[in-house]
Every structure is written in C-alpha cells, then in structure tokens.
Structure 1
Amino acid sequence: YGPPGTRLYHTGDLAHHDHHGHLHYDGRADNQVKIRGFRVEPSEVEAALLTHPQIAQAAVTTHRDQLSAYVVSGSAAMEDVRRHLTARLPEHLVPTYLTPLDRLPLTPNGKIDKRALPEPAAVVSAGGRAPRTPLEETLVGLFTRTLGAGEALSIDDDFFHHGGHSLLGARLTNHIAVAVDVRLTVRDVFEHPTPARLAEHITALKTAPAAPKKARPTLRRRTETERISS
C-alpha cells in the first residue's frame, strides 16, 4: 500500500485484485448509497424519522436512484412527516418516496427485511381538484412538465410523491421565475409541495408589503476653512 509512513485512507468500498493485477469494485462495506452525487447513510434518515412522535418504525432504502422511506406511523400524515424531515435534514437526505405500512417485513432473525419491502407508489392526493385560478393553472402545468408526468396533475398532488427531488425542485423554481416572476428556493417547494399550497405561498409573497428602504446618508462637503484646519 505504499512506502512506510504514507497514509492509507479507508473509503468503505470493497474491491479485489484479479490475477492480472486489476482492481475490481465489489460494493460497499457499509450501508452507504450514492444519491445524485451525495454519499447517504440510510440509518441517518431512519434516525431522523424516528424522532417523529407518531412513527414507531422506519426503514430507508433506494428506488430508481431515489431515497425511499417506509414508516409504521399510525395516523401521521405523510406531508407532516416530510415537513418534520425537511426541518432536520439537508434536502438531499429527504426521501423522495414516503410509504406508510401497517408493519415492516422481518427476517427470521427479527431484523427488517428491506428486500421484502413493497415498491413505493406515487401517492395521489384525494380529491384531484382542478385549478381554480390562473396561477394554479400555471403551476399545475409547470409541475407536470418538470416531473414528466404522463397526464396533468391536480392542484393537490405532491411534487415529491411523483418522483420530484431537490434537483428537479431547482428546475421547477427556475420555470416559476420565468412564468410568474417570483424568485423561490428549493426549500419553498419542500415546504409547499402542491400547486395549491405553492400558489398560496406565491400570493402571500406578492401581496406582502415591501420592506422600507433605508435612507442613504448624505455627504456634506467641507468648507475651505474646515479643510485647512484639518
């Protein structure tokens, strides 16, 4: 591994040499996964989920290169769970999918069997309301286009329940800036993930009174006497 005194870094990657001396990657020695360029430890997300008072069990895995969380949560709404995570984790650690289950599958040894977890389904909000205002209609179109949805979404459909993530959220905010002339952040999308809620947020931003501008101090020109004395 090098001459004496050199430093060896443990990356957590497993590999082996073949008989030609080539190095082959075999996987990870831990449970880390790579999501959109970030190293993610699912247990960190699971620990954050378990801080929610209504979540008894949690498991986090990957689905189509996105984080997918499964929770035994009783009556907790998934939107509340998402807000709970958004307040505690960086955006890239907030799962794209949140799936409630009655119980988590277990192995014969009593551990969570992640291979037996069901495929997460996009959660469609009940009601499926149509846009009521021009702003909601614009946002529904932008949500649908950004997500590549096969059919138009409703104003109650959650951006992240349909495969959205932070990178697509940034793309959505760019589209909104052009179409609606409002600058939003990705966190705004996390906190208001449906067209209806985001429309309310945008309306509140546009109707909020502008912050008063601070008066700039005026510079007084010194007199000839003052310049000489100084």
Structure 2
Amino acid sequence: MVTRTCRIWNLYGPAETTIDCAFHLVDISADTQSVPIGRALPRYRCLILDDFLQAVVISQEGALYVGGVGVFAGYLEREELTTRALIVIDDEIFYRTGDLVRMDKNGFLHYQGRKDHQIKLHGQRIELGEIEQCLLNTLISACVVIKWDDDHLVSYVQSTNIDVEELRKHCQSHLPPHMIPSIFVVLEKLPINANGKIDRKLLPAPQFSLLTNIDQTDVIPLTPLEEHLQRIFSEAFHNESPNVNMPFGQLGGTSLDVIRALMLIQQEICTKVDVGLLFANPSIRQLARVIEPLLVTYADSSVTTSALQLLQENQDRSMP
C-alpha cells in the first residue's frame, strides 16, 4: 500500500532517447484508472503525429516522435535501420518511437499501445516482423507471430506440408533464444479479414499442454545431472516441471531468472559454467551433456562437495 507521504515518479522513454524523455509525478488520489507518462523532460520535445506527419488534436491518438538532447545518433553498422528510426522535422532529428499516445486537456501524454508489432517479452524488446521474416525464408507461404498471455511467442504458419521441428531448428540457427516461438501452429490457411489482411482475432488458441509435459516420444530416462539441472531451472524459472528438451527461452523465465539459474549451477554443480556455455546449449539436456565432462576434469576444484555427494547418491538409483 502506498502512503500519501510517498512520492512516485513515472518515467518514460526508449533506449534510443537515452532512457527517459518524459516524466509524471503520480497523484495517488487522482491517477486511479491510469497513470500518464506525463510531459517531456527539459530539452526534449514530444510530437504526436498522424500517418501524414500532421499534428493531432487534443485527445486524438497518434504516433509519438521524440526529439531533443538525448536522441541517439543511430544503430552501429545498421544504416538502413537508422534511416527508418530517425526523421528530420523542423531541422531537428526526431526518433520514431512506434508508441501510440494521446494528450489530455492538461497536456499529459497517455500511452495507448504500439503502432507496429514490436513487443516486450520477459524484459526483451522483440520485433515480431523479424521472426516472421525468418520463418518466411523456409517453405511456408505465410505466417504471423503473436505474444500470448505475456509469457509466450506463438507462431502461426500457413502450410500443407511442413515439419514443425524443422521450423524450430531453422529459428534456433537464425534467431537468439528469446525470439524463438514457444509453439508453432500449422494451419492450411490463415484467417483473412475483409481488407485481405490476417485476422489475428480468429487465430485458434495454442495448446500449452505441450509445453508443460515431457514429450511422450522421449523415453530416455533423466540422468542424475539432468535431474539436478531440472530442479535448478524449476526453482529459478518458477516452473514446476520444465521440459529438459525445451530451449530456456521458451520456459517462461526472464533474463534475471537465467542469471539466477547460472548462479545456482555454479554454486551447486560446476564453477566452469558461464553464460556463454548456457546460451550455446539452450536446454537442460544439451547443457547436461557439455557439463558432464567438466565434472570429471574439474572434480577436485570446480564441483562443490554437496553436489558431488548428490550426484554420487543418485548414481546408485534403479533405472527403469
């Protein structure tokens, strides 16, 4: 509960504007329905423009453009992306935030959503179009990627003959782990609205039961090391029974959860495991395979006594 003696500031701004470009001192008695992102900071300008780069009237929704001292110079070695992100208005450089806002009669900006399909998932900013373009480089004819319940990326692909595992492997080889869809839904035809565009509202709900259970086709019993890693990721990712074959990016954890899991691995199993090894082997089973030789090589110096005892005790268990 927030007391009346507490002052809360709502700060807004993408990284391209040096994090903060607008601010609002929250009024805990008045801002009960929604909290504005406020007004521009000193030496910043916030413009709300329509599709024709014309200023909108008060209370009308428009795209937010930010200019001022903190606007970045561009993306390193990405001139095409920089050109799309920046625009010159009145001899001043403005950043296209892609955010939709409106201004109330008091001059406060209110966030309304995104103009494009950029999202944030587990603290990572993701361009859904990049994932869709990656998928279109395969044999599928059309696709759409959406965020589902703030936890997962779901890819809907239009195809009559496609192997889902091949799609997943293609994404794993071309995209970072946090951009790989959790589920691929194959449809003979994607739903189309009257304007000829994909109707996202008519897309079927994905079957998330596939994420919580170990694949029925996988009859390989877990090794003691895999069981230990599964317990660590269960604790770090708040996932009761994480799939040992599923990439970490699809288990629903945040970047902080990954760091927590890495610390537990270093404390309980092997200090030689680093973040590079973790991301290069993005599943419990893959990680166990590369850690196992380290336990032999560095047993005297890199594995804690408790971890060694646990592994030794589990070696004697009966196998199915």
Establish whether TM, by shorter chain, passes 0.5: yes
**Contact (CA 8 Å) 2:98, 2:115: kept in 1 or not?**
yes
1:218 maps to none
| Aligned partner of 1:61 among 146, 161, 165 | 146
2:262 counterpart residue number: 173
Mapped to 2, the partners of 1:155 and 1:183 lie a distance apart of: 18
Question: How many residues are matched?
Answer: 203
1:135 equivalent in structure 2: 225
Matched, 1:108 2:194: yes
Question: Which residue of 2 is the match for residue 33 of structure 1?
Answer: 119
SS in structure 1 of the partner of residue 96 of structure 2 = coil
Report sequence identity in percent.
Answer: 32
SS at match of 1:99: strand
Query: Alignment partner for residue 98 of structure 1, among 183, 203, 220?
Result: 183
The question of 1:19 aligning with 2:101 is answered no
Q: Aligned partner of 1:28: which letter?
A: R
Residue 68 of structure 1 deviates from its aligned partner by 2.7
Sort the Cα spacing of 1:56 and 1:7 in 2 relative to 1 into closer, same or farther, 3 A: closer
Q: Which has the higher contact order (CA 8 A, sep 6+)?
A: 1
- Which of 163, 168, 191 aligns to 1:82? It is 168
Q: Distance in 1 between matches of 2:255 and 2:169?
A: 14
Residues in 2 aligned to 1:173 and 1:21: alpha-carbon distance in whole angstroms: 46
Q: Which has the larger radius of gyration?
A: 1
1:171-200 CA deviation, whole Å, 9 max, x = no partner? Answer: 32332222210414366456442x333322
Distance change >3 Å, CA 70–CA 172, structure 1 → 2: farther
- Deviations, residues 60-85 of structure 1 (Å, cap 9, x unaligned): 1112324332234634243x433322
What residue in structure 2 maps to residue 70 of structure 1?
A: 156
Q: Give the CA deviation at 1:47.
A: 0.2
The answer (yes or no) to whether the contact 1:173–1:185 under 8 Å persists in 2 is yes
Q: Is residue 49 from structure 1 mapped to residue 138 from structure 2 by the alignment?
A: no
Whole-Å Cα distance in 2 between the matches of residues 173 and 117 of structure 1? 37
Q: CA RMSD in A?
A: 3.3
Which residue identity lines up with residue 76 of structure 1 in the other structure? D
Structure 2's unaligned 5+ residue stretches are: 1-44, 47-89, 299-320
